[in-house]
Structure 1
């Protein structure tokens, strides 16, 4: 079964975090991704640009509404996602506990319902 590990954390500037801390975070995530890959559970992963780079599309009264920047007014933003394929929630939680973002934010573990494979919807 596919699970998404959604990494939520407060967005801070590079200046407030520091180049050394950013480099360490990148090394930790690279190591974590390599571990998932070696275990044969990694499906995909993405680190997202800051929420200020996002654009949100919704519909108001049948008309599309486009909004720049983060839509949700929260302290934490979605910073990245990893998709893993594991047998059950307990296994997904074991991998989530090892995710470096658990140390600086929140890791949301959400099962997939369906995904697209070769242009066809497939149950996850």
Structure 2
């Protein structure tokens, strides 16, 4: 099954996190991505820029409304997504447990309902 592991965390103010901690977390995420890849389960991974860089678009009555920032005004934001392909929820949970983001935020796991392969929507498995 294909699962999205979505990291949800608070966003520190610029300069609030020490460079040593940033370097430690970067090394932890590098190892995590390497381990996912080595296990053959990694489909893709993205760490996102802060929510202050977000642009939100909605279509209503045939017109686009564009807003700076995230849709939801909340203290926690989507920080990144790992897309993995594993046999079951237990395997996905094991990988989520190993994610460095779980130490300072939450990991929301959600199975894929459909995925695009060869230009067509298909079940992910």
TM range (shorter): over 0.9
Aligned residue number for residue 65 of structure 2: 65
RMSD: 1.1
**Distance of 1:28 and 1:35 partners within structure 2:** 10
| CA deviations over 1:29-59 (Å, ceiling 9, x no partner) | 1100111111111110001111111111113
1:49-102 CA distance string (max 9 Å, x none): 111111111133442211111211111000100000001111100110110000
1:54-93 map, 5 Å: 54-93=54-93
Q: Name the TM-score, length of structure 1 as normaliser.
A: 0.95
Matched residue SS, 1:15: coil
2:101 aligned counterpart, secondary structure: helix
User: Aligned equivalents of 2:60 and 2:22: distance in 1?
Assistant: 39
Corresponding residue number in structure 2 for 1:95: 95
In 2, Cα distance between the equivalents of 1:61 and 1:116? Answer: 28
Shift of 1:121: 1.3
Query: How many equivalent pairs are there?
Result: 124
Q: Does the Cα contact within 8 Å between 1:14 and 1:22 map onto a contact in 2?
A: no
SS in 1 for 2:87: coil
Unaligned stretches of 5+ residues in structure 1 = none
In structure 2, the gaps of 5 or more residues are none
